Amino acid sequence: MAACRNPSGTTEILESRGHGNAGEADLINQLGAKVKAVDPDVIENHNLHGFDLPFLVRRARILGVQLTLGRAGLPALRVRAARRGSASTPDGRRVRFVAPGRELIDTLDAVLRYDFATRELPNHRLKTVARHLGIAGPDREYIKGAQIYEVYRRDPERVRRYATADVQEVAGVARMLGGAAFALAQMAPRRYERVADAGAATGIIDPLLVRAYLRSGTALPAHQPGDGTPHSGAALHLFAAGVARRVVKADVASLYPSLMRSYRIGPARDHLGAMLTLVDRLVELRLAAKASARQSAPESAERYGYEAVSAAMKLVVNSAYGYLAAGGLTRFADVQAANEVTRRGRETLELVCGELASRGVTLLEADTDGVYFAVPDHWTEPDERRVVAEVAALLPLLVQLEFEGRYSAMLSHEPKNYALLGYDGALLLRGVAFRSSRAEPFGQAFLRYAVARLLAGDVPGVREAYVTTLDRLRGRHFAAREVASCVRLSKTWAQYLQVRDSRRELPYEALLAAGRKSWSVGDRILVYRRKSGAAGLIEDSEDAVAGIDSAKERDYDIDHYARLLRQTFAVRLACAFSPADFEVVFADPDQMSLFMPSVATIQTVLGKKPPTQTVDC
């Protein structure tokens, strides 16, 4: 079965009329005939190049039928090398398919590009993205992948609804996220499908530069391998660790392209100065598109178009620096120029920090293009905005320091690792120290709650969170699932057997204990440590065959998880207290001395760090 959405917006379902191979061959022929009849310029789907096309090609080959998706006279699918797509060759190189005369657009590419900027999506599955973007219907049909065949045999109408909802969601995702690539395709001398999946540097900037040279009749510089100059990175400072109140974030908008424009930093081999001309032009286009978007009606096609252009320009402008730094890989790469950009960046950040500090704020942390600082108690928001504006006025015209946000409190832990409490009560956790895919749910929940209490100024609440979590562990109130860790399997059964004698690994021991001897490298499983050090596996309750639902087991190793609570989770709050106070807040209630001071009087601290901690990254 296949669902197709025509350019007119109607959805059609193709289904095989025969049985077995004959029916499947018939379906592939129907698909070819349908594509020929509708004759679309663009064929799009989610993971089109990673699943649908390689699947169809494989089945067509096995069944000995022609899969005709290309335009008249050029029916055969071709392949091109790609970094993502279908892994067809034994050496692991990947390819994407090309249907001559049509554009094969994968909405997954647009989703990856979108999430690169926003970092909001828990994963990139079609259903998740559709829900996130608000385009999933309220009564949308869901069926698990593994159950589709069985449901189809029982209730084909349900699968038809499911497939129809899928293609409608793909159309919605393409409409909302595909605009940038479509806008760029009208500007860059590359076909749409290449612009949609290429990186901005090699896929867009490079061809634009080449076109500029061709148009001016100037010879292109030869490729030059990098001369081994090491690439220096951005500045990263931790000024203070602990709890700060009245926190402000200021940052420079598009720092690197602004520095390139302001100080005229471009590739040395670019004698035409095409890169800087391009960046100047794209920034102007972006500003014009943003202004036009503001003037057009909300939700109008016009507005989406302008916003797409603006997003596309931002993407390309921001990759100009990446192009410079891509040592030796691209025609105009220039590590020295890239280093000059980062040097100016560090200089700018240092100037901003110094000027802010001299105006009476307490610096907390600074990273690349932005700085968090705390202001004195009596300052108002206009005071905060005024110092940022004063410092902004000291920077070059094109380098714009902006007031980015204000927060009631911050837990500054390490560079790139902190928690923020908004004035609206919203809690934001940043960095691997506070959110990790492998964190045990009970620990993650404790950490989130404890940080919220800490930033609210409620130290007894932090202690209570710790004691409650310990109690619930010791009373086995948590289900095994809540103490389990999600791990990715990186070894095969045979590979693990080779190292098993020297070092036992919990995930594989859990699989063995559960009687599972076959798995795929890359599979993710939930494992936990059981009493007596044995390994426990949480079976997906839908797949569990035996009558025991392991998710409801509670036979975990209490001491192990109590240690984990303290040594992995509670320590994230250590910088907020003096060492002695930390011991009091996180004292084991079973081992409390009678002379323990009360937590009610404990104050959080903010410890200053030595001022020169520049890290290259």
Partner DNA sequence: GGTGACCGGGG
Partner DNA sequence: GTGTACGGTCACC
Q: How far, in Å, CA of 250 to CA of 366, rounded?
A: 10
CB of 236 to DNA, least distance (A): 12
Q: How far, in Å, CA of 609 to CA of 607, rounded?
A: 6
The residue from 13, 42, 133, 148 that contacts DNA (CB under 7 A) is 148
- Contact between 168 and DNA per CB under 7 A: no
Of the candidates 319, 314, 330, 313, the one whose C-alpha atom is nearest the C-alpha of residue 184 is: 313
Residues 6 or more apart from 91 whose CB is under 8 A from it?
none
Strands (E), 530-590: 535-538
Q: How far, in Å, CA of 210 to CA of 332, rounded?
A: 10
* Binding to DNA in span 58-87, by CB under 7 A: 81-84, 86
- Contact between 437 and DNA per CB under 7 A: yes
CB of 230 to DNA, least distance (A): 9
Phi and psi, residue 111, nearest 5°? -65, -45
CB 459 within 8 A of CB 411: no
Binding string to DNA for residues 341 to 380, with x set by CB under 7 A, is what? ----------------------------------------
CB of 410 to DNA, least distance (A): 21
Q: How far, in Å, CA of 573 to CA of 413, rounded?
A: 8
CB of 166 to DNA, least distance (A): 5
Phi and psi, residue 526, nearest 5°? -105, 125
Using the minimum distance from each CB to DNA, give the nearer residue, 82 or 272: 82
CB neighbour burial string for 46-57, b if at least 16 within 10 angstroms, e if fewer:
bbbbbebbbebb
Of the candidates 513, 517, 508, 545, the one whose C-alpha atom is nearest the C-alpha of residue 531 is: 513
Q: What radius of gyration do the chain's Cα atoms show?
A: 29
Of the candidates 104, 95, 93, the one whose C-alpha atom is nearest the C-alpha of residue 45 is: 104
CB of 562 to DNA, least distance (A): 23
Using the minimum distance from each CB to DNA, give the nearer residue, 86 or 604: 86
CB of 493 to DNA, least distance (A): 14
- Contact between 47 and DNA per CB under 7 A: yes
Using the minimum distance from each CB to DNA, give the nearer residue, 328 or 475: 328
CB of 527 to DNA, least distance (A): 12
- Contact between 34 and DNA per CB under 7 A: no
Residues 6 or more apart from 54 whose CB is under 8 A from it?
85, 86, 88, 97
CB 139 within 8 A of CB 164: no
- Contact between 51 and DNA per CB under 7 A: yes
CB of 601 to DNA, least distance (A): 37
- Contact between 487 and DNA per CB under 7 A: yes
Q: How far, in Å, CA of 463 to CA of 581, rounded?
A: 11
* Binding to DNA in span 304-333, by CB under 7 A: 319, 322, 329-331
Other residues' Cβ atoms within 10 Å of the Cβ of residue 596? 10
The residue from 4, 67, 200, 526 that contacts DNA (CB under 7 A) is 200
The residue from 146, 222, 545, 594 that contacts DNA (CB under 7 A) is 146
CA atoms within 13 Å, Cβ hemisphere of 395: 30
Of the candidates 158, 344, 374, the one whose C-alpha atom is nearest the C-alpha of residue 257 is: 344
Interface segment toward DNA; rule CB under 7 A; list 118-126, 344-352, 367-375, 456-464: 118-126
Of the candidates 223, 207, 205, the one whose C-alpha atom is nearest the C-alpha of residue 215 is: 207
CB of 432 to DNA, least distance (A): 6
* Binding to DNA in span 507-536, by CB under 7 A: 521-522, 524
CB of 126 to DNA, least distance (A): 3
The residue from 61, 78, 281, 438 that contacts DNA (CB under 7 A) is 438
Using the minimum distance from each CB to DNA, give the nearer residue, 80 or 552: 80
CB of 438 to DNA, least distance (A): 6
Q: How far, in Å, CA of 240 to CA of 408, rounded?
A: 17
The helix (run of H) or strand (run of E) holding residue 513 is helix 506-513
- Contact between 57 and DNA per CB under 7 A: no
Using the minimum distance from each CB to DNA, give the nearer residue, 477 or 488: 488
Using the minimum distance from each CB to DNA, give the nearer residue, 331 or 463: 331
Encoded tokens for 206: 């490079």
- Contact between 614 and DNA per CB under 7 A: no
The residue from 21, 123, 603, 614 that contacts DNA (CB under 7 A) is 123
- Contact between 432 and DNA per CB under 7 A: yes
CB 3 within 8 A of CB 10: no
Using the minimum distance from each CB to DNA, give the nearer residue, 123 or 295: 123
Interface segment toward DNA; rule CB under 7 A; list 440-448, 482-490, 531-539, 606-614: 482-490
The helix (run of H) or strand (run of E) holding residue 487 is strand 485-488
User: First vs last Cα of the chain: how many Å apart?
Assistant: 49
Give the C-alpha distances (Å, rounded to integers) separating 581 from 178, 245, 263, 598. 53, 20, 50, 10
Interface segment toward DNA; rule CB under 7 A; list 13-21, 42-50, 400-408, 533-541: 42-50
CB of 565 to DNA, least distance (A): 21
CB of 23 to DNA, least distance (A): 15
- Contact between 136 and DNA per CB under 7 A: no
Give the C-alpha distances (Å, rounded to integers) separating 330 from 52, 185, 205, 335, 560. 32, 20, 10, 11, 51
With CB under 7 A as the rule, give the number of residues binding DNA. Answer: 51
Using the minimum distance from each CB to DNA, give the nearer residue, 291 or 521: 521
CB of 256 to DNA, least distance (A): 14
| 3 state SS of 559 | helix
Which positions touch DNA (CB under 7 A)?
A: 46-47, 50-51, 81-84, 86, 92-94, 108, 112, 116, 123-127, 145-146, 148-149, 166, 197-203, 206, 223, 319, 322, 329-331, 432, 436-438, 487-488, 490-491, 521-522, 524, 616
